[in-house]
Amino acid sequence: MAYTLNKKLKNFAPYEARRGRKAVLMDANESFLPVHPEIKKSIISQIRKVEFNRYPDPMAKKCCKAFGDYYGVDPALITAGNGSDELVSIILDGFFSGGDKLLLTAPDSLMYGLRAEISELEIVRYQKGEDYKVIPDDLVSLAKSEGCKGLIMSNPCDPTSQGLRKMPLRSLIKALPDTLVVVDEAYMDFWNQSLINEVSDFDNLIVLRTASKALGSASIRLGFAIANKKLTKALNSVKLPYNVSALTQAASVGVLKHKDLLQNAQLDILAGRGYLSGALLKLEAQWRDTPNAFHLIPESKTNFVALRFADKSKHAEVYEYMKKNGIAICCFPELIRVTVGANDENQLFLSLFTAFGA
């Protein structure tokens, strides 16, 4: 009798990026900016110090210190991971047991649900309204009525570009003392409502950060979990040893020492977001009474913009049209997500988008 996969694995397929490297990449929310020459020089200098015949530091101490120095966080509260996706997996596998209920918001990052299913958790979903806002009291009520052991959400949210401000988020966390709340702040460098410096004020909060967005370092696969000392000790106990390569640790030190350059890059990204949003708002007004009417989700808090067509079938049509013309964007059933690109990339997208609606 042949070996068969278990039920949960039969439902999954390998992740496949639906884009070609020759395409204009406006789909994965990476930084469009190449690494600054000074940062590249610093990365190379750090990598030259790597002892390739030795295992990396299992606690990634220099890496965590560099991150802590950059954001003003005690390194003792920081755990490094092989991307924040790995940290999500560590948290779901280590802090919960099979059958525990995990509360997710929808729409939100698809990775949370995928990893929860692999961890055999029962998923409870809070459906956002048409404005994609989270109503904290409703979220708290659902968590309590369902007996959820955990809540994970991105803030600002991928893919909606919206966010929940600090004050209501603090109240939400305090209202769920028996629930582990994981707040993924992958895009918080583009907003100002972080709880990263407040983790010691909560018994039940883990904040996630990534090097893949504002820090312009998606290729090194590096994420951070920030939490109080008790939760940090637990994270370090359940993660794999040597989970962050020596090359990644070295590169991160080279990147994070250049705060001024990185913050200047963030300003360039925000300027591109303003240009892209402004142009789309004009098209929204022009197309309002046409079959191509759409709504730009207002006041993006991220390095991407999100929009939805009144006719939901248009989402797939725009995706395929852009793909045919060499631009990769991201398509969801309820909206389209477009990463801010370089000036010429934003202009090309807008030109093609205008042509689609003509």
In this model, does residue 357 exceed pLDDT 90?
no
Residue-wise over 89-122: b if at least 16 C-beta within 10 A, else e? bbbbbebbeeebbbbbbebbbebbbbbbbebebb
Closest to 225 in 3D by CA, of 234, 214, 216, 215:
234
Q: What is the DSSP string of 172-239?
A: HHHH-TTSEEEEE-TTGGGSS---GGGGGG-SSEEEEEESSSTT--GGG--EEEEE-HHHHHHHHHHS
Are both 7-30+260-357 and 46-257 of the same fold?
Answer: no
CATH of 46-257, one of 3.40.640.10, 1.10.645.10, 3.20.20.10, 3.40.50.2020: 3.40.640.10
Positive/negative CA dihedral, 233, 239, 243, 244: negative
In this model, does residue 19 exceed pLDDT 70?
no
Strands 78-81 vs 24-25: parallel, antiparallel or unpaired: unpaired
Instruction: Give the C-alpha separation, 192 to 261, whole Å.
Output: 19
pLDDT digits (tens, 9 = 90+) for 71-80: 999 999 999 9
In this model, does residue 2 exceed pLDDT 60?
yes
Going by CATH, does the domain composed of 7-30+260-357 fall within 2.60.120.10?
Answer: no
Task: Delimit the domains of the chain by residue range.
Answer: 7-30+260-357, 46-257
Instruction: Give the C-alpha separation, 356 to 268, whole Å.
Output: 28
Q: How confident is the model at residue 130 (pLDDT cuts 50, 70, 90)?
A: confident
In this model, does residue 148 exceed pLDDT 60?
yes
In this model, does residue 85 exceed pLDDT 60?
yes
| Residue bearing the bigger pLDDT, 330 or 15 | 330
What pTM was computed for the model? 0.96
